[in-house]
Amino acid sequence: MADVGRIAGVSAMTVSRALKGKSYIAKDTLERILAAVDQLGYVLDQSAGSLSSRRSGFIAAIVPSIDNSNFADTARGITDTLAQTSMQLLLGYTNYSVEREEELIESMLRRRPEGIILTGGKHTSKARVLLANAGIPVIETWDVPENPVDAVVGFSNTDAMEALVDSLVAQGYSRFGFITGSEASDTRGHQRHIGFDRALSRHGLTSNRVVAIEAVPIRMSHGGEAIRALLERYPDTDVAICVSDLPAFGAIMECKRMGLVVPRDIAIAGFGDYEIASISEPGITTVNVDSYGIGAQAAGQMIAMLENRGTAATITTSYHMLHRGST
Amino acid sequence: MADVGRIAGVSAMTVSRALKGKSYIAKDTLERILAAVDQLGYVLDQSAGSLSSRRSGFIAAIVPSIDNSNFADTARGITDTLAQTSMQLLLGYTNYSVEREEELIESMLRRRPEGIILTGGKHTSKARVLLANAGIPVIETWDVPENPVDAVVGFSNTDAMEALVDSLVAQGYSRFGFITGSEASDTRGHQRHIGFDRALSRHGLTSNRVVAIEAVPIRMSHGGEAIRALLERYPDTDVAICVSDLPAFGAIMECKRMGLVVPRDIAIAGFGDYEIASISEPGITTVNVDSYGIGAQAAGQMIAMLENRGTAATITTSYHMLHRGST
DNA sequence: CTGTTAGCGCGTTCAC
DNA sequence: GTGAACGCGCTAACAG
């Protein structure tokens, strides 16, 4: 930067101001500086800048998996919204492990992010301490935790699943199966299971037709295994709800291979409204949860909090049922 | 850090050494330091550290989209491999725009990454200048560019598509259609199209049955539109190759809706071996391209280059045909 | 509109 | 094994 200044015949400070674009600089001074920047191929060193200004320009975000279009959409929502500011996203994924989350939080805090966006409300106690000490806005997403760290942008997975069950009961189904993954790891899956149970008991139905695949995350292929297991144990099941559209799709395809017709022989529903749910034939009945909007709103709330415009609000995001051919 | 030192009764320097874990520290000194760190909830400030050590600990990676499981897998491969080191991934996506890539490169270079991993070999000239000036290892992936910037980890999309066409010709198909997206943006799609043309002319076949959807990126739903357009214009097409499995799946589902049986009435092949290709019924004939391995090998090569163990090598990654029920 | 001074929080280097 | 001095490249604060 000093080099640039030398060539342009100004001090480093003026170069700094010119490159920030926030202060008034004489037009010809600015031109000389930009010419020098071009000539040298100079690129600002933001790590030095952050040290001095005490603003890193980072927002950290941690999702369970990027290999899942719901969370990828959330990450996109965050990035796109952050693009309006000069903030940069520092993204990490936990593979659904709170221990890994703790490590990630620590390693990200070393970069002094100005805010941090997490998925869900389950964290190790050390993670909570780290977050508290960091003194930065924390936003938990994809859930409405009972004891939020700070702000929240999400929806009740329990309620959403209850609504799905209600609508299927209304359709006339009564022998419900549930296909899920490792609930110890996937807390949102666990919440959905709770919603499933609750809704069923409200309707006076039983709910022990459950297949839990102990794999993290649950994939399309697991849906196939699971539906076989479910139908073997409970052959009279008339509808199987899957914890996400991915296993739901796998289940539907497996049914096809088994010679069963969905939904005539067995109805199948998913959760999340992944693209496949609308494209698959039959289409998959599911719950749309606005994955992109969760990210966009979380980033928006973060920006507000950083500008002292917002406080630790809880923003509830919308979801809606999508009835398609699979039920 | 000075605070920690004060509590532990040592200098900040000793704290720094203790936290790095590379130097010898008396056992009880170390314990006192760790206790103080715990007590204060101290977290290292890596931005200050990088400024001083002139090592940011960042590797930048830029992919076209994270909302695509192939590139998400590559990102996972990079992260997982980097986890062996203390490097952190700085991830960005371009939405298939070289202009956006240029912006991203510049904003990432401000963080002084120690290396940068790009997708493909097409960059703006300014981007090339920025990369050259940065003086860090650059790895281009997912392709084998004619004029690589530095190292390369990828495969020839042209060759891979040629191999797919060859195998379908061997299966007896002769009236080939091609479904693709915006080739101006998706250079790998463009390469595949070239391979398609080349292979067909080698076999003395024509190749004008092409539907290009001008959307970026091409999604499942576009496959449906495209197959309709293709069959309307060229009703005698016997096999449609899609630029990726996503539109291939959309096309298969649309055929089902149109009452066509795949592959009896029309065969369909994809590219990329997304999970859906193996789960879908029928399974989708496709080319597996080791998306995760591209990331893992790129990161491995990056580590080697940073340790001066490797030079600007070109690593060719493997691909293989997967014949499934759709052809 | 521009320059000077000081210091951000570490790690490098050298000393002991 | 530990400490002191110094500087990384930039920007805040103040001056003019």
User: pLDDT by residue (tens digit) across A152-175?
Assistant: 999 999 999 999 999 999 999 999
What is the domain-level CATH number for residue A236?
3.40.50.2300
Q: Which residues of chain A neighbour B250 with C-beta distances below 8 Å? A: 279
**Which of A38, A44, A63, A67 to substitute to test the interface with B, most B CBs within 10 Å?**
A67
Bigger pLDDT: A1 or A51? A51
Q: What is the pLDDT of residue B2?
A: 84
Size of interface A-B (CB pairs under 8 A): 111
Phi and psi torsions of B141, nearest 5°: -125, 170
Find, among A216, A183, A247, A214, the residue nearest to A65 by Cα.
Answer: A216
Rounded to a whole number, what is the distance in Å from the CA of B162 to chain A's nearest CA?
A: 28
Rounded to a whole number, what is the distance in Å from the CA of A57 to chain B's nearest CA?
A: 10
Question: Same domain for A61 and A139?
Answer: yes
Rg (CA), chain A: 25
Q: What is the pLDDT of residue B144?
A: 96
- Chain A residue with minimal CA distance to B258? A281
Question: Same domain for B232 and B207?
Answer: yes
For A38, the domain range is 1-44
Question: Same domain for B175 and B284?
Answer: yes
Question: Same domain for B131 and B208?
Answer: no
Q: What percent of chain A has pLDDT over 70?
A: 100
C-beta separation of B219 from B188 below 8 A: no
Q: Is residue A212 part of a domain?
A: yes
Q: What is the pLDDT of residue B97?
A: 96
Q: What is the pLDDT of residue A1?
A: 86
pLDDT grade for B312, boundaries at 50, 70 and 90: confident
DSSP code at position A205:
-
Question: Could you tell me the pTM of the whole model?
Answer: 0.95
Note the pLDDT tens digit of each residue in A189-219: 999 999 999 999 999 998 899 999 999 899 9
CB atoms within 10 A of CB A61: 29
The alpha helices in chain B, defined as continuous H runs, are: 2-8, 12-20, 27-40, 46-53, 69-82, 98-109, 125-134, 157-170, 187-202, 220-233, 245-257, 275-279, 291-306
Question: Same domain for A175 and A264?
Answer: yes
Nearest CB partner across the interface for B257, out of A45, A275, A281: A281
Where is mean pLDDT largest: A300-309, B24-33, B250-259?
B250-259
Q: Is residue B325 part of a domain?
A: no
Phi and psi torsions of A87, nearest 5°: -80, 150
Between CA B288 and CA B291, with CA B289 as vertex, the angle to 5 degrees is 120
Region B46-53: what's the mean pLDDT? 94
Q: What percent of chain B has pLDDT over 90?
A: 89
Q: Is the pLDDT of residue A311 over 90?
A: no
Q: What is the pLDDT of residue B24?
A: 85
* Average pLDDT taken over every residue of chain B: 95
C-beta separation of B90 from B111 below 8 A: yes
Q: What is the pLDDT of residue B27?
A: 87
Query: Which strand C nucleotides have any atom less than 7 A from protein CB atoms?
Result: 1-5, 7-13
Note the pLDDT tens digit of each residue in A21-55: 888 888 889 999 999 999 999 999 999 999 999 99
Q: What is the pLDDT of residue A281?
A: 94
C-beta separation of B276 from A220 below 8 A: yes
**Distance (Å, whole) CA B19 – CA A153:** 35
Region B198-219: what's the mean pLDDT? 94
Q: What is the pLDDT of residue A262?
A: 95
pLDDT grade for B207, boundaries at 50, 70 and 90: confident
Question: Same domain for A216 and A183?
Answer: yes
DSSP code at position A141:
E
- Chain A residue with minimal CA distance to B95? A76
Region B87-92: what's the mean pLDDT? 96
Region B36-54: what's the mean pLDDT? 93
Question: Same domain for A108 and A218?
Answer: no
Q: What is the pLDDT of residue A22?
A: 80
Q: Report in angstroms the alpha-carbon separations of B115 from B135, B140, B169, B308, B313.
A: 9, 11, 43, 13, 15
Q: Is residue B2 part of a domain?
A: yes
CB atoms within 10 A of CB A170: 9
Domain count, chain B: 3
| Residue B201: both structure tokens together | 């002319």
Q: What is the pLDDT of residue A283?
A: 98
Question: Same domain for A171 and A149?
Answer: no
Amino acid identity for residue A180 in this structure: T
Find, among A93, A22, A86, A97, the residue nearest to A57 by Cα.
Answer: A86
Q: What is the pLDDT of residue A54?
A: 94
Q: What is the pLDDT of residue B21?
A: 80
Q: What is the pLDDT of residue B311?
A: 79
Which H/E stretch holds residue B93?
Answer: strand B88-93
Question: Same domain for A89 and A169?
Answer: no
Which nucleotide is closest to B20, CA to C1'? C11
Rounded to a whole number, what is the distance in Å from the CA of B42 to chain A's nearest CA?
A: 8
pLDDT grade for B116, boundaries at 50, 70 and 90: very high
Footprint of strand C on the protein (CB under 7 A): A 5, 9-14, 17, 23-26, 29-30, 48, 51-52, 54; B 1-2, 12-13, 16, 19-20, 44-45, 48-49, 51-53, 55
Q: Is residue B327 part of a domain?
A: no
Question: Same domain for A143 and A246?
Answer: no
**Distance (Å, whole) CA A62 – CA A85:** 20
Question: Same domain for A170 and A269?
Answer: yes
Q: Is the pLDDT of residue A182 over 80?
A: yes
Q: Is the pLDDT of residue B22 over 80?
A: no
Q: Does the distance separating the beta carbons of B275 and A43 come in below 8 Å?
A: no
Q: Is residue A326 part of a domain?
A: no
Q: Which residue has the tokens 């189904």?
A: A173
pLDDT grade for B309, boundaries at 50, 70 and 90: confident
Q: Which residues of B140-150 are buried (b: 16+ CB within 10 A; e: fewer)?
A: bbbbbbeebbb
Q: Is residue B218 part of a domain?
A: yes
Q: Does the distance separating the beta carbons of A279 and B224 come in below 8 Å?
A: yes
Q: What is the pLDDT of residue B244?
A: 97
Q: Does the distance separating the beta carbons of B253 and A112 come in below 8 Å?
A: no
**Which of B1, B56, B274, B276 to substitute to test the interface with A, most A CBs within 10 Å?**
B276
Region B161-165: what's the mean pLDDT? 98
Out of A308-312, B26-30, B46-50, pick the least confident: A308-312
Q: Which residue has the tokens 């879908």?
A: B280
Q: Is residue A322 part of a domain?
A: no
Out of A250-254, B138-142, B312-316, pick the least confident: B312-316
Q: Does the distance separating the beta carbons of B73 and A45 come in below 8 Å?
A: no
Note the pLDDT tens digit of each residue in A272-292: 999 999 999 999 999 999 999
- Chain B residue with minimal CA distance to A43? B110
Region A251-272: what's the mean pLDDT? 97
Question: Same domain for B233 and B277?
Answer: yes
Q: Which residues of chain A neighbour B280 with C-beta distances below 8 Å? A: 253
